[in-house]
Structure 1
Amino acid sequence: MLEPASAPSFSDPLDDFRRAYFGPYDHYLGWHDGYDADFGVLDRLTRPHRLEAEAELCEALRTQRADPRAVLGLEHLRSRAGLPVLHDSLLRFGIYALGAIASIDPTALDADRVLAHLSNRKLTEEQLYSLAIGLGTYFTPSQLGPRVPAQLLELMADRRYLVRNHALGALRKLYRLPDPKAGNGTIITRADIRSDEIFGLISTDGRTDDFRRAQDMLRAQIEAFDTGS
């Protein structure tokens, strides 16, 4: 006797979304290799479900129950409704939040808020260099205006090496300036320092005069870029 055919099982698209964006995740790998997210579950949602998913992603970020997957989800949805909470998440998810804002609408970046963060001496080293990396990677000088790059230049004299280093890197990306160390890998050698005078000046802690000299040299390069010379 034939067994009756079992009824096909269909998963709830919203349940799939919630598992993908709020379920278990290997956060060590996310920290080490960069977070990723399943965009396919978002693409399969109907428009009403997409709006519900968008609202849930925003609420999870607002209540600090989310990890960078929520930021990536809002970016994939091109969520203009998510722009306020993405700005609120700049200090938690700096690079990811800046990347999402730039993808949704780079002209919507709140430069005043970014400037306030970059000027805040109470921020951690990681918060500051994460912002610097994101700004250099995802924006252009015209989108940032003059004050944000000027504050990045100030950070080249920060007491913390990683802040100085990433501020320099961000400004070189913004203005498409040459980086003598580019392509040399992650380990900085003495040869790198010799080949990159500006980096050499900021690579040693506690030499404020050298930091200022490095700023002056980079400022001259930026001014040359601005004038097209």
Structure 2
Amino acid sequence: MESFRRAFFGPIDNYLAWHDGFDSVIDAAASLGGLSAAEQEQAAAELIHALEHGPADARVVLGLAYLRHRPALPALNNYLPKAANYVLQAISQIDPAQLDLRQVARVLEARDTYTLIEVLTGLGYYYTRAQLNADIIRRIINLLTHPDYLVRYHALQAARHIHGIPGLAGERTSLREDPIFSSIVSDKSPRDFRRAQELLLIEIKQAGAPG
């Protein structure tokens, strides 16, 4: 248990965690897998307490995800938008049906670019259209008109992945052949953003997915 506490609550290389991800500075399986069932319950209780009362960082979320600890779901939902990508991953691993969509909708109204990118990335990686609702999809598509290109890019990626549509670089032959991407790439062409939304809705419909 002391080894667990050092791993999840002790000092870490914050630069490495930021640059390479928290899962690069902690091995949740190695830290938690060797605990007995009773010790894992105690560890989960301590992780939830940290999530609710601090101090906590994304290591706590990774631990709860590894343990698949269902009682942690309310605390994980409430932790948004902090560590959003990790939180969305954790909830999807425990029970994606328990994602608080009202909380996600509020986070998608955030002004902070980094927060929006984190949430869009998590939704695109870990959730399908069937696990979300029409309001979340609408909010994602609305972000194609965001003034920051990186938000528009991640909104397009998220919308496509959620609907099972191939995305951008590495999944298509050329970005130049992608009319939706071409419509959002320039910050100086806001009138094209609406066109991008229209094209994306057509793409979703053609894929047989509800918009």
Q: CA deviation at 1:112?
A: 1.4
- Is 1:156–1:164's contact at 8 Å kept on the other side of the alignment? yes
Within the alignment, does 1:224 sit opposite 2:211 as a pair? no
Structure 2 residue aligned with 1:168: 156
Q: Which has the larger share of helix? A: 2
* 2:70 is aligned with 1:80: yes
SS at 1:65 equivalent = coil
Structure 1 residues 84-138: Cα deviation after superposition (integer angstroms, max 9, x where no partner)? 11112221101000000000001111111111211x2x43000011100100100
CA contact (8 A) 2:4 2:32 kept: yes
Q: Call closer, same or farther: CA 1:113–1:227 in 2, change over 3 Å.
A: closer
CA distance in 2, matches of 1:89, 1:156: 26
1:68-96 Cα deviation digits (max 9, x unpaired): 11100000000111111111222110100
The structural deviation recorded for 1:159 is: 1.1
Provide the residue aligned with 2:190 in structure 1: 208
Paired residue for 2:133, among 131, 140, 145?
145
Stretches of 4+ moved more than 6 A in 1? none
Alignment of 1:126-141 (within 5 A): 126-141=114-129
Give the length in aligned residue pairs: 207
Matched position secondary structure for 1:204: coil
CA contact (8 A) 2:163 2:209 kept: no
Gap regions ≥5 residues in structure 1: 1-13, 185-190
Q: Which of the numbers 18, 24, 27 marks the counterpart of 1:31?
A: 18
1:74–1:227 Cα change, 3 Å: closer
Q: Within 5 Å, which residues of 2 pair with 1:1-229?
A: 14-36=1-23, 37-38=26-27, 39-118=29-108, 120=109, 122-182=110-170, 192-226=174-208
Name the counterpart of 1:5.
Answer: none
Counterpart amino acid of 1:134?
A: G
Computed over aligned residues only, the root mean square deviation of the Cα atoms, in angstroms, reads 1.8
Instruction: Flag structure 2 segments of 5+ consecutive residues without an equivalent.
Output: none
TM-score of the pair, normalised by structure 2: 0.92
Larger radius of gyration: 1
Equivalent pair of 1:117/1:123 in contact (CA under 8 Å): no
Distance in 2 (CA, whole Å) between partners of 1:64 and 1:199 is 41
**In the alignment, what sits opposite 1:187?**
none
- Percent identity between matched residues is 40
